[in-house]
Structure 1
């Protein structure tokens, strides 16, 4: 009896697949509620990665959420006014249930771009 328990314990400790990371996964979802499917990560994938992107502004704003397993964690937080991308990584199973830090449309960046364009047009027109 003790020998069979020892064999079961050794098998359980040596089986890495029993301890694989599990992440929520989706591709180009428009809402976080569409990202409730799960996937078991490969042995080399140590992160659950969430990528959140936006484009447009106001009523024309569109968002996209992608969740997956990843071998490395890219740190991206980019906002260029009418488009942006942000990532979030974590290292425990099912830790990516929420979206990455959302990307807000920067109306200040849009205003600066419009003013810079207007200044160039006025300068070239003179």
Structure 2
């Protein structure tokens, strides 16, 4: 059984290095639930990004999410007092699942998202 798990782990690592990067993609969405579309990135893309734009403060705050593939990325956080813009970068497939760094994702939700991602990739015929 340990051999099977080791072989699966090695194959997943190899698949990740051979295949193109996959990222979640969305534009100007108010909720992370609307940002679960997976796309295969161009060969030149090296990063998945998530940009969260906040307008307003406290209970009047509204959020907009943008996720995409990019060839280069610079993480930043800008707070204007009336809102903020935060960009996060990551380098592995489907790593931009979270809508914001402050959002805590439970292990069950993370496991479910990972399982759904693998099912989608294998069903789409790589």
Indicate the TM-score class for this superposition, using the shorter chain for normalisation.
0.5 to 0.7
Deviations 1:10-60 (CA, angstroms, capped at 9, x unpaired): xxxxxxxx6100000000110111100011100110000100010112333
Give the match for residue 26 of structure 2. 26
Higher deviation after alignment, 51-60 or 40-49: 51-60
* CA–CA distance in structure 2, aligned partners of residues 75 and 92 of structure 1: 16
TM-score scaled by length of structure 1:
0.63
Rg larger for:
1
Tell me the distance in 2 between the aligned counterparts of 1:93 and 1:75. 18
**Aligned runs of 1:1-126 on 2, under 5 Å?**
19-101=19-101
Q: TM-score, normalised by structure 2?
A: 0.63
Q: 4+ residue stretches of structure 1 with deviation over 2 A?
A: none
Question: CA separation in 1, counterparts of 2:51 and 2:99?
Answer: 8
Q: 1:53-90: CA deviations, max 9, x gaps?
A: 10112333111000000111122111111110001111
Q: How many residues align?
A: 85
Give 2:5's aligned residue.
Answer: none
Q: Distance in 1 between matches of 2:91 and 2:31?
A: 22
Separation in 2, partners of 1:75, 1:91: 12
5+ long unaligned stretches in structure 1: 1-17, 103-126
